[in-house]
Amino acid sequence: MAALAAVVGPGMLAGLSDDDPAGITTYSILGAEHGYRLLWVLAVSTAALVLFHELGARMGCVTGQGLAGLVRERYGVRWAAVGLACLLVANIGTTCAEFAGVAAALELAGVSRYVSVPLAAAAVSALVLRGGFHRVERVLLAVSGVFVAYIAAGLLASPDWGAAARGLVVPSLPLDREAVLLTAATVGTTLAPWGLAFIQSYVADKRLTPKDLSLERVDVVTGAVMTGVIGFFIVVACAATLHRQGRSIHDAADAARALEPLAGGLAATLFGAGLLGAALLAASILPLSTAYSVTEALGVEGRLDDPWREARVFYATYGVIVVTAVVIVLLPGAPLVGILYLTQALNAVLLLPLLVFIRGLARDRELMGVHALGRAGRAATAVAIAALAVCVAALAVLSLWR
Amino acid sequence: MLALTDCIGRAVSDADGIRVGRLSDVGVRLEDAAAVVTSLHVRRSRRAPAVVVSWARVAAFETTDITLSARCDALGQDPSPPDDLRLVRDVLDAQIVDVAGARVVRVGDVDLDRRDGALRVVAVEVGWAALLRRLGLRRLADRVSPESIAWQDVHLASGRAHALLLSTPSAAVHRMRRAELTHLVAELPSTRSAEVLRAVGPERAAAAISGARPGASGRLLETLGPQDAAPIVAAMRADDAVAALREVDPETRRLVLDEVASARASELRRLLGHPPGSAAGLMSSDVFRAGSDEPLDAVRARLTASRPRLEGLATVFVVDGAGRPVGTFTPLMLLAGDARPAPALTVRADAPVQAVVDLFAMHDVLAVAVVDAMGRVIGAVAVDDVLEELLAERLPGRHGAWFAATRRRHAA
């Protein structure tokens, strides 16, 4: 157990931060619009999460390097630069979404965003700038405990467990535009480029080795399954209340508001608290993931234990991302909805080449030695990438159709 | 001086001026503190495997013109020594350790220099200039001053290259001082650090692990495995070995101690039995005792013959017949010929670390004796052990700064 506790972290944090405000919104809409019917999509995306997060953790353990660094080493500086530029834009956009989530969650409690967002930004910056690796990790893991709120909210909504179980294992897809779009969005929001980059860099920062792999797998699977379970309870909470009443919602804060008359004040408060915790967690991890990627691609790897003097680029990137996102979110009249929409699209587009890179790196025997991807792994990742490509294509075609 | 990335992708022509293909990689052999180009890898098409041409068959090598002395149709595959490094595959964009600057960076370009008909790697470029140049932003790159590291100060951190360098006797790691080695081992991924420690031998590895920050030393021992960790643990000072072994999981600790010579192992086991927060948990059992009736000349001779590994532990504790301390001699007192020992400072084995700290704060000494319940000397705590303990408490996770400072002080 002590050995497991020493390894735990990367899988949990990378997984749970995928349940960010954008994710919660998607799951809420999935439940509110389609009830229990599309729960199987969540099971599928959880499987994909396990598959690719395990690969990320494995590469981090074996090579001791992050994804952006490996892409530069193996595919050259041009690919790394193009990838980094896209990642930078997408990550700033996503960080905006997380701070917007903080604003939305606290506005439920009547706190102005001009107070909540700067405070949240100061808190996450102080955490990373003032604390070493272990302190940062402990605080983030503690914050992710807030996700229990969703499980409680799901239970309070007194759902139809039989229907939920059926929806989870029996795949069915109504062939209308909205449903296909939502399916693709669910997969896209669960598997995120920054999450993949984060898990590998973080494993490398944690100095895990191939010896830690078996325990790290436990961490990855637990993190991914918990991500799925939390998604499940969000869908169930919305399906049991909003869907039955035929209410439709636009975002996660909307869902919290709509839950109040249906499942009681406690469920609504829990839903809002969960949103706040999720937003804070993702708002700390996104700039961190970006800082790792930028420093790796530039070749000046930074670590959480490094003092400012030795990792200027690392901390400066973190600061710039946070400040940029806060300014965008607080700018009166900023086209926030457009930015968030564009970010989702960019994340989806970026995901495919990134997965291809990951697969290419993971099967490279020279790099990975005995830990290289075997035949089964190659087949599984190929199928997953193909399925995701279909999702992304569907998303693109249906979005343009409108 | 040639930049590698200016040459890669250039057309290669044969003796008749017919185009053979494009340069895709350059093979080098590691010689004493240098890397000499031995072969060119020429790719005829995007898909075809590269043709390896030995350096002897290269007539001209310029950024504008790479010409072979052989004819195109006579070009067989020259054998490429399997243990050669390839600059594009193994060095370019790979992680390196800048030994002189003690930092991990990525190679942006490789500088080649021609001398006596041979082409050698003289330096690697890191930093923005090389990066911008390669991205086609030459104008911007010219405004940034280039940053390069001499080849003899480079340690390659990537796979094969790392292993090759370690096996080269003149490689930078073998010239590093203790503090530099400690820093390198802290910066590299654990598996690579373990390889470095194996390469430098138990004595130097022991010094590097002793200096590693709390938490890191245990991880290094675990990565090394019991077989390789044992000789290093045996070479470490008892108190450092105990501190490192406390961080290792119990099963590995048992396996490591099984490999250590039995006398040393049982001593370490005994020290491990003391609770970590107590004086005994910090102490070293390598304490220098002298009998109360032993002549000073004999004591001096014995101390010189078996020099303790730490200045602080050069303190001589004079004990009576039962092993109880009656006085102490510092090396300075022995040097001056003081015949009367000073009173010995002692602390009980189960005393909290704070009591030891207070003792050091009040008295001008380098070591205090640790005594058991019967008042017998069982070990000594040196002032550096207490410092490490205090730093671990006060600066969690911020050892990077501390070690950087230590390194700079040692280098100065």
pLDDT digits (tens, 9 = 90+) for B371-392: 988 889 988 888 877 877 776 6
Place of tokens 């008909």: B117
Angle at A207 between CA A201 and CA A208, to 5 degrees: 95
Q: Who's near A34: CB < 8 A, 6+ residues apart? A: A174, A179, A182, A239, A243
CA dist B300 and A316 (Å) reads 57
- Residue B117 three-state SS: coil
**pLDDT(B400) > 50:** no
**pLDDT(A321) > 50:** yes
DSSP class of residue B295?
-
Q: Which two tokens stand for residue B113?
A: 């220099």
Q: CA-CA distances (angstroms) from residue B81 to A147, A160, B27, B86, B167? A: 57, 69, 9, 11, 16
CA dist A213 and A228 (Å) reads 22
Contact A108, A265 (CB under 8 A): no
User: Which of B190, B192, B406, B408 best tests the A interface by mutation, with the highest count of A CBs <10 A?
Assistant: B190
Range in A26-30, A76-80, A170-174, B314-318 the model is least confident about: A170-174
| pLDDT of res. B382 | 85
| pLDDT of res. A255 | 78
Summarize the confidence of residues A155-165 as an average pLDDT. Answer: 83
Between strands B316-319 and B325-329, the pairing is: antiparallel
Summarize the confidence of residues B258-279 as an average pLDDT. Answer: 84
- Long-range contacts (CB closer than 8 Å, 24 or more residues apart) made by B304-312: B309/B237, B310/B237, B310/B284, B310/B382, B310/B384, B311/B366, B312/B366, B312/B367, B312/B382, B312/B383, B312/B384
Query: What φ, ψ does residue A330 adopt, rounded to 5°?
Result: -90, -10
Which runs of consecutive H residues, i.e. helices, occur in A76-192?
77-108, 113-130, 133-144, 148-156, 161-169, 177-190
For residue B158, the chain A residues in CB contact (below 8 A) are 73
Which residue of A3, A69, A367 is in closest CB contact with B159? A367
A223-250 confidence digits (pLDDT tens)? 999 999 999 998 888 888 878 777 777 7
CA count, 13 A, side-chain hemisphere, B376: 6
Which runs of consecutive H residues, i.e. helices, occur in A175-251?
177-190, 193-205, 213-238, 244-245
Nearest CA in chain A to B252: A3
Summarize the confidence of residues A326-348 as an average pLDDT. Answer: 79
Summarize the confidence of residues B361-366 as an average pLDDT. Answer: 85
| pLDDT of res. B399 | 42
| pLDDT of res. B392 | 61
* Residues A211, B223: C-beta atoms closer than 8 Å: yes
CA dist B113 and B61 (Å) reads 11
Gap from A49 CA to chain B (nearest CA, Å): 26
| pLDDT of res. B409 | 41
Q: What is the DSSP string of B312-355?
A: GGGPEEEE-TTS-EEEEE-HHHHHHT--SPBPPPEEETTSBHHH
A&B contacts, CB < 8 Å = 89
Summarize the confidence of residues A338-357 as an average pLDDT. Answer: 82
Gap from A209 CA to chain B (nearest CA, Å): 6
3-state DSSP helix/strand/coil % of chain B, to nearest 5: 45, 25, 30
Q: Who's near A350: CB < 8 A, 6+ residues apart? A: A83, A86, A87, A90, A193
- Residue A332 three-state SS: coil
**pLDDT(B408) > 60:** no
**Which of the four pLDDT bands, split at 50, 70 and 90, describes residue B169?**
low
**pLDDT(A138) > 80:** yes
Contact A46, A242 (CB under 8 A): no
Kindly state whether B398 is in contact with chain A, defined as any CB-CB distance less than 8 angstroms: yes
| pLDDT of res. B118 | 86
Range in A261-265, B289-293, B317-321, B330-334 the model is least confident about: A261-265
For residue A310, the chain B residues in CB contact (below 8 A) are 103, 400-401, 404
Contact B40, B23 (CB under 8 A): yes
Summarize the confidence of residues B102-116 as an average pLDDT. Answer: 84
For residue B406, the chain A residues in CB contact (below 8 A) are none
Kindly state whether B191 is in contact with chain A, defined as any CB-CB distance less than 8 angstroms: yes
Which residue of B131, B222, B397 is in closest CB contact with A211? B222
Q: Who's near B251: CB < 8 A, 6+ residues apart? A: none
CA dist B298 and B412 (Å) reads 38
Q: CA-CA distances (angstroms) from residue A57 to A152, A214, A225? A: 30, 11, 16
**pLDDT(B257) > 50:** yes
Specify the amino acid at residue A246.
G
Summarize the confidence of residues B23-38 as an average pLDDT. Answer: 83
The phi-psi region of residue B348 (left if phi > 0; otherwise alpha if psi is between -120 and 50; otherwise beta) is beta
CA dist B242 and A346 (Å) reads 53
Contact B157, A172 (CB under 8 A): no
Q: Who's near B372: CB < 8 A, 6+ residues apart? A: B349, B378
| pLDDT of res. B308 | 62
Kindly state whether A64 is in contact with chain B, defined as any CB-CB distance less than 8 angstroms: yes
Q: Which two tokens stand for residue B156?
A: 């390659």
Q: Which residue did the predictor score with more confidence, A321 or B180?
A: A321
CA dist A83 and B117 (Å) reads 41
CA dist A264 and B267 (Å) reads 65
**pLDDT(A141) > 60:** yes
Which residue of A134, A135, A305 is in closest CB contact with B400? A305
Strand stretches in A226-370, DSSP E? none
Buried b (16+ CB within 10 A) or exposed e, B339-348: eebeebbbbe
Nearest CA in chain A to B94: A73
Summarize the confidence of residues A80-94 as an average pLDDT. Answer: 88
What's the complex ipTM? 0.76
| pLDDT of res. B412 | 38
| pLDDT of res. A290 | 93
Between strands B103-106 and B288-291, the pairing is: unpaired
Summarize the confidence of residues B2-19 as an average pLDDT. Answer: 86
For residue B185, the chain A residues in CB contact (below 8 A) are none
| pLDDT of res. A121 | 92
CA dist A240 and A234 (Å) reads 10
Kindly state whether B6 is in contact with chain A, defined as any CB-CB distance less than 8 angstroms: no
Which residues in chain A (294-323) have CB-CB distances under 8 A to chain B? 298-301, 303-307, 309-310
Q: Which residue did the predictor score with more confidence, B178 or B85?
A: B85
Nearest CA in chain B to A299: B106
* Residues A211, B401: C-beta atoms closer than 8 Å: no
CA dist B243 and B253 (Å) reads 12
Q: Which residue did the predictor score with more confidence, A401 or A117?
A: A117
Between strands B95-98 and B154-156, the pairing is: antiparallel
Q: How much is the mean pLDDT over chain B?
A: 81
**Which of the four pLDDT bands, split at 50, 70 and 90, describes residue A322?**
very high
Q: What is the DSSP string of B354-368?
A: HHHHHHHHHS--SEE
**pLDDT(B81) > 70:** no
Summarize the confidence of residues A276-280 as an average pLDDT. Answer: 87
Of these ranges, A10-19, A135-144, B48-57, the one predicted with the greatest mean pLDDT is: A10-19
Angle at A260 between CA A259 and CA A265, to 5 degrees: 130
Query: What φ, ψ does residue A331 adopt, rounded to 5°?
Result: -65, 120
Please give the distance of CA B251 from its chain centroid, rounded to a whole number. Answer: 26
For residue B131, the chain A residues in CB contact (below 8 A) are 77, 298-299
Range in A32-41, A208-217, A336-345, B337-346 the model is least confident about: A336-345
Kindly state whether A132 is in contact with chain B, defined as any CB-CB distance less than 8 angstroms: yes
